[in-house]
């Protein structure tokens, strides 16, 4: 088990997700921004290594506008050496790296335009991980998408679109249950037809459940992961007290997390903590997981 947090480190004083307005796009601006983002990614990975946080989600903002028509710059060639060096560092230290495109990426949209933009965005994500030289365990996770008034048709459209994806995308694609429309059971069906693994989002599963206990849910998701895919990925979050069901807490609930660790035993997986205070909660979770035989790190 590796433990991680998404995209941003709040404590080390740099941001790897700097962007700018489309209006102010220029090649110079792009190069300067990406250069800064990569330098920060380097610093974050080093911080993470020093704290036994061996799982990290790379921000989709790493290369702003990469999939937008305005960007004709060959960023993967220009930053190829830097990306390769970062990837080598990550592999050398057994990092698990993933990416999670945002809500605009909808493989199953009935709109051809939305679909085309989504595929362009997915290809950008694949190119980042490819340029880093990451193996097929470096995943790109998305949701099934919209229902468009026809859940079954929309599930089938996802599977069809999946089948004709560029190989660079398809080998990394994984599908995650969401908090409103598509449950774990829906994702498992998609997985059987599309041949891609399922990320269990335990928090979403509690809000939009297909009925499985934690152990059952982990088992159902686990069988969708083949040997080349790496350990299963699981997303975890804490409910924000007093807020709407499904809203993410500011900080991790350590009591809940301890129960999660106990109840999930003996399943092994890499765990992404979707908590607002990022590395602060990851540090607490790592401390709590030490001593668990599943935990992957230097030890105390």
Partner DNA sequence: AATGGTCAAGTCAGC
Partner DNA sequence: GCTGACTTGACCATT
Q: For DNA, give the closer residue by CB, 47 or 148.
A: 148
Q: In the set 76, 82, 210, 247, which binds DNA (CB under 7 A)? A: 247
Q: Closer to DNA at the Cβ: 237 or 295?
A: 237
Q: Are 133 and 97 in contact (CB under 8 A)?
A: no
**Cα dist from 11 to 45, 104, 283, whole Å:** 13, 29, 12
Residue selected from 6, 230, 231, 232 as contacting DNA according to rule CB under 7 A: 6
Residue corresponding to tokens 């301890």: 258
Is 246 a binding residue for DNA by CB under 7 A? The answer is yes
Among 191, 82, 172, 88, smallest CA distance to 124 is for: 172
Task: Specify the stretch interacting with DNA by CB under 7 A; choose among 41-49, 87-95, 226-234, 242-250.
Answer: 242-250
Query: Binding segment for DNA among 13-21, 73-81, 259-267, 283-291 (CB under 7 A)?
Result: 13-21
Among 161, 204, 220, 267, binds DNA (CB under 7 A): 204
Among positions 117, 205, 267, 284, the unique one binding DNA when judged by CB under 7 A: 117
Q: With contacts defined by CB under 7 A, how many residues of the chain interact with DNA? A: 50
Query: What burial letters (b/e) apply to 15-49, b meaning 16+ CB within 10 Å?
Result: bbbbbeeeeeeeeeebeebbeebbebbbebbeebb
The piece of 165-173, 182-190, 239-247, 261-269 that touches DNA (CB under 7 A) is: 239-247
* 123 contributes a contact to DNA by CB under 7 A: no
CA distances from 81 to 75, 87, 88, 212, 287 (A): 11, 10, 10, 45, 35
When the beta carbons of 237 and 264 are compared against DNA, the nearer one is 237
Are 86 and 45 contacting, i.e. CB atoms less than 8 angstroms apart? Answer: yes
* Residue from 11, 26, 111, 226 binding DNA (CB under 7 A): 111
Give the span between the Cα atoms of 277 and 298, in whole angstroms: 24
CB 119 within 8 A of CB 165: yes
**CB of 42: closest distance to DNA in angstroms?**
16
> What residues make contact with DNA under the rule CB under 7 A?
6-8, 15, 17-24, 60, 64-68, 100-104, 106, 109-111, 113-114, 117, 121, 145-149, 178-181, 204, 237, 244, 246-248, 274-276, 278
């Amino acid at each position: 088990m590796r433990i991680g947090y998404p995209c941003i480190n709040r404590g080390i004083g740099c941001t790897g997700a700097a962007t700018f307005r489309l209006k102010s796009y220029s090649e110079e601006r792009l190069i300067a921004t990406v250069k800064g983002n990569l330098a920060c990614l380097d610093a974050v990975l080093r911080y993470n290594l020093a704290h036994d946080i061996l799982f990290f989600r790379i921000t989709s903002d790493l290369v702003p506008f990469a999939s937008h028509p305005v960007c004709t710059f060959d960023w993967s060639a220009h930053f190829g050496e830097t990306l390769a060096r970062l990837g080598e560092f990550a592999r050398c230290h057994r990092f698990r790296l993933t990416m999670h495109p945002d809500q605009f990426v909808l493989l199953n949209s009935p709109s051809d335009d939305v679909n085309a933009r989504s595929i362009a965005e997915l290809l950008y994500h694949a190119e980042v991980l490819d340029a880093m030289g990451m193996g097929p365990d470096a995943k790109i996770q998305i949701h099934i998408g919209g229902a468009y008034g026809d859940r079954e048709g929309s599930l089938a459209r996802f599977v069809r679109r999946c089948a004709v994806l560029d190989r660079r995308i398809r080998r990394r694609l994984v599908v995650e249950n969401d908090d409103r429309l598509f449950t774990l059971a829906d994702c498992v069906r998609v997985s059987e037809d599309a041949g891609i693994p399922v990320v269990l989002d335990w928090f979403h599963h509690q809000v939009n459940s297909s009925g499985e206990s934690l152990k059952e849910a982990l088992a159902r998701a686990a069988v969708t992961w083949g040997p080349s895919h790496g350990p299963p990925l699981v997303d975890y979050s804490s409910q924000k007290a007093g807020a709407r069901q499904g809203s993410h807490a500011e900080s991790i609930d350590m009591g809940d997390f301890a129960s999660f660790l106990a109840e999930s035993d003996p399943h092994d997986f890499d765990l992404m903590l979707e908590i607002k205070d990022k590395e602060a909660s990851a540090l607490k979770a790592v401390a709590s997981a030490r001593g668990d035989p599943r935990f992957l790190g230097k030890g105390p």
